[in-house]
Amino acid sequence: MSRAPRVVVLAGGVGGSRFVLGLRSALRSRGVADTASALTVVVNTGDDLWLSGVRLQPDVDSITYALAGVNDAERGWGRAGDTERVNHELQAWGSGWPWFTLGDLDLGTHLARTGWLREGLTPTEVLERMSHRWELGARLLPMTDAEVDTVVTVRDEDGIRSMHFQEWWTRHRATLEPVSFDNPGVTGVEPAPGVAEVIADADVVLLAPSNPVVSIGPILAVPGVRAALRSTAAPVVGVSPIIGGRVVRGMADVCLAAIGVETSAAAVAAHYGARSGDGLLDSWLIAEEDALAADEVAGLGIHSVVTPLWMTDAARSAALAEAALATAAV
């Protein structure tokens, strides 16, 4: 293809940002100068929440900071070199959650965002504005402008109760048995402006190796997104977040178990389903460690490609991204 391919990727935070960095790098290696015009990321906003009067968007910020090169790679969230002076003060006031740290630089982001939201900008407009500070080399779109924060219903000795996803994930480290994950009100919302259009106009649509339940799940729950994926002329290629029958970095296995999906590359492929049936995938990238699952994936009507899936450094992430693009023949 002589012009730059139009690449759309659905993504969550950590796995999502590594893959997006890989895509930007793969496009640059192909000689695409203006990657921001070629690469659109539809970001999960199910993790978003209000805390201490400000709006947090963990996955949006993870991807923004990673693309800007200002993320704390070691810790896995927030800004490199951040401090916690304001956080200590908030704790002293009893504001927020004692188990949830807000870095000073990070709070600057949240304050700027909240200010613009209060002035009447939509989340899409706010994200557009926030994308100007650094050369991100990608366009970021929230999955929707509506607030559909993920709620986890758990079962423990006190019975059944619900809490915000962040409380379950960060405070309880996903140890409380989840019964269900919901995005209240999501059935009545629309995708953010541009989301359905970029999917329709894409040359390839990619599902990042993000958590299928709480990162990709909320994006697919937004009415219209699933239909856009099913109807686009572009191939839909997914990357398995499961390597060697295990989740990498994180607790996605607990989420998968709650929705009755086994922690295996083939089971997640079956969960997304084949576009030739009533699902979403044309192709599914699986790890060499899961090569034996290739037949099972093929049996689902999904073209499977065995390739290294570890994104342990920039070069490996770029190679994986290139493999995903090549699978779609773009």
Give contact residues for Ca ion (rule: CB under 5 A): 12-13, 47, 59
Residue among 22, 137, 209, 235 that touches ligand GDP (CB under 6 A): 209
Residue 152, exposed/middle/buried by CB under 10 A (0-12, 13-18, 19+)?
buried
For residues 187 and 168, give the distance between their C-alpha atoms in angstroms, rounded to a whole number.
23
- Amino acid 283 reads S
Task: Rule CB under 6 A: say whether 252 interacts with ligand GDP.
Answer: yes
Contact partner at residue 247 from ligand GDP, Ca ion, none, CB < 5 to 8 Å by partner kind:
ligand GDP
Secondary structure (3-state) at 111 = helix
Mode of pairing for the β-strands spanning 7-11 and 204-207: parallel
Window 215 to 234, contacts with ligand GDP (CB under 6 A): 215
Interior CA angle at 138 toward 132 and 143, to 5°? 95
Smallest separation, CB 271 to Ca ion (Å): 18
Smallest separation, CB 125 to Ca ion (Å): 22
Task: Rule CB under 6 A: say whether 250 interacts with ligand GDP.
Answer: yes
For ligand GDP, which is the closer residue by CB, 252 or 321? 252
Bin 108: left if φ > 0, else alpha if -120 < ψ < 50, else beta. alpha
Window 29 to 68, contacts with ligand GDP (CB under 6 A): 59, 62
Size of the site for ligand GDP (CB under 6 A): 24
Tell me the H-state helices in the chain: 14-29, 35-38, 58-68, 85-93, 104-118, 123-130, 165-166, 195-201, 216-221, 225-231, 252-258, 265-272, 294-299, 314-327
Going by C-beta distance under 8 Å and a sequence separation of 6 or more, which residues neighbour residue 229? 199, 205, 220, 236, 275, 280
Residue among 138, 205, 311, 324 that touches ligand GDP (CB under 6 A): 311
Smallest separation, CB 242 to ligand GDP (Å): 6
Smallest separation, CB 150 to ligand GDP (Å): 11
Smallest separation, CB 157 to ligand GDP (Å): 27
For ligand GDP, which is the closer residue by CB, 38 or 174? 174
Contact partner at residue 249 from ligand GDP, Ca ion, none, CB < 5 to 8 Å by partner kind:
ligand GDP
Window 114 to 143, contacts with ligand GDP (CB under 6 A): none
For Ca ion, which is the closer residue by CB, 12 or 142? 12
212-233: burial string, b at 16+ Cβ within 10 Å, e else: bbbbbbbbbbbeebeebbeebe
11-25: burial string, b at 16+ Cβ within 10 Å, e else: bbbbbbbbbbbbbbb
Residue, CB closest to Ca ion: 13
Residue among 228, 261, 266, 309 that touches ligand GDP (CB under 6 A): 309
Smallest separation, CB 216 to Ca ion (Å): 10
Residue among 248, 268, 297, 318 that touches ligand GDP (CB under 6 A): 248
Residue among 9, 10, 12, 282 that touches ligand GDP (CB under 6 A): 12
Residue among 243, 265, 270, 324 that touches ligand GDP (CB under 6 A): 243
Q: How many H helices and E strands in the chain?
A: 14, 14
Judge whether 86 and 107 are in contact, CB under 8 Å.
yes
Judge whether 309 and 239 are in contact, CB under 8 Å.
yes
Smallest separation, CB 30 to ligand GDP (Å): 22
For Ca ion, which is the closer residue by CB, 48 or 296? 48
Task: Rule CB under 6 A: say whether 109 interacts with ligand GDP.
Answer: no
Question: Which residues sit at the interface with ligand GDP, rule CB under 6 A?
Answer: 11-16, 59, 62, 209-211, 215, 239-241, 243, 247-250, 252, 309-311
